[in-house]
Structure 1
Amino acid sequence: MRLVIAKCSVDYAGRLSAHLPLATRLLMLKSDGSVLIHSDGGSYKPLNWMSPPCTLSVAEPEPEQAEAGITQVWKVTHAKTADLLVVSIYDVLHDSAHDLGVDPGLQKDGVEAHLQKLLAEQIELLGDGHTLVRREYMTAIGPVDILARDAAGKSVAVELKRRGDIDGVEQLTRYLELMNRDPHLAPVTGVFAAQEIKPQARTLAEDRGIRCLVLDYDAMRGIDDGHSRLF
Structure 2
Amino acid sequence: MRVLIARCAVDYSGRLDAHLEPATRLIMVKADGSVLIHADGGSYKPLNWMSAPCTCEVRPAEGEESAAGIREIWDVRSDRSDDRLVISLYGVTEDFSHPFGPEPGLVKDGVEAHLQELLAGQIHLLGAGVTLLRREYPTPIGPVDIMALDTDGTHLAVEIKRRGEIDGVEQLTRYLEYLNRDRSLQAVRGIFAAREIKPQARVLAEDRGIECLILDYDAMRGFDNPEDRLF
- Report TM bin, short chain: 0.5 to 0.7
TM-score (norm 2): 0.55
> Does 2:225 correspond to 1:223?
no
Please list every run of 5 or more consecutive structure 1 residues that lacks an aligned counterpart in the other structure.
Answer: 126-160, 164-194, 197-213
> Runs ≥4 in structure 1, deviation > 6 angstroms?
115-123
1:16 maps to 16
What amino acid maps onto 1:64 in structure 2? E
- In the TM superposition, 1:81-230 aligns within 5 A as 81-113=81-113, 124=141, 215-216=167-168, 222-224=190-192, 225-229=205-209
Q: Are 1:115 and 1:217, in contact at CA under 8 Å, matched by a contact in 2?
A: no
Contact 1:77/1:85 (8 A) holds in 2: yes
1:32-84 deviation per Cα after TM superposition (whole angstroms, max 9, x unaligned)? 11000000000000000000110111011121000000000001000010211
Q: Secondary structure at the match of 1:49?
A: strand
The 3-state SS of whatever aligns with 1:27 is: strand
Shift of 1:116: 10
Indicate the SS of the match to 2:191. Answer: coil
* Per-residue CA distance 1:6-54 (angstroms, 9 max, x = gap): 0000000111100010100000000011000000000000000000110
Partner of 1:167: none
What is the 5 A alignment of 1:59-70?
Answer: 59-70=59-70
Change (3 A) 1:116 1:102: farther
Matches of 1:120 and 1:52 in 2, distance apart? 41
TM superposition shift of 1:99: 0.6
Partner AA of 1:33 in structure 2: G
Deviations 1:185-204 (A, max 9, x none): xxxxxxxxxx77xxxxxxxx
| Contact 1:75–1:84, Cα closer than 8 Å, also in 2 | yes
SS in 1 for 2:20: strand
TM-superposition CA deviations, 1:139-195 (whole Å, max 9, x none):
xxxxxxxxxxxxxxxxxxxxxx968xxxxxxxxxxxxxxxxxxxxxxxxxxxxxxx7
Let me know the Cα RMSD of the aligned residues.
Answer: 3.4
**SS in structure 2 of the partner of residue 64 of structure 1:** helix
Q: Cα–Cα, structure 1 residues 108 and 229, in superposed 2: closer, same or farther, change >3 Å?
A: same
Measured at CA, do residues 123 and 110 of structure 1 come closer, stay the same or move farther in structure 2, by a change above 3 Å?
A: farther
Q: CA deviation at 1:223?
A: 1.5
> Secondary structure of 1:223's match?
strand
Gaps of 5+ in 2: 118-134, 143-160, 176-189, 193-204, 211-231
Count of aligned residue pairs for this structure pair: 147
Mapped contact 1:33–1:54 kept (Cα < 8 A): yes
User: Does structure 1 conserve the Cα–Cα contact (< 8 Å) formed by 2:13 and 2:83?
Assistant: yes
Report the AA paired with residue 66 of structure 2. Answer: A
Question: Is the radius of gyration larger for structure 1 or structure 2?
Answer: 2
Alignment partner of 2:111: what SS?
helix
Structure-2 change in CA distance of 1:115 and 1:55 (3 Å): farther
Whichever residue aligns with residue 74 of structure 2, its letter is: W
Amino acid at match of 1:223: I
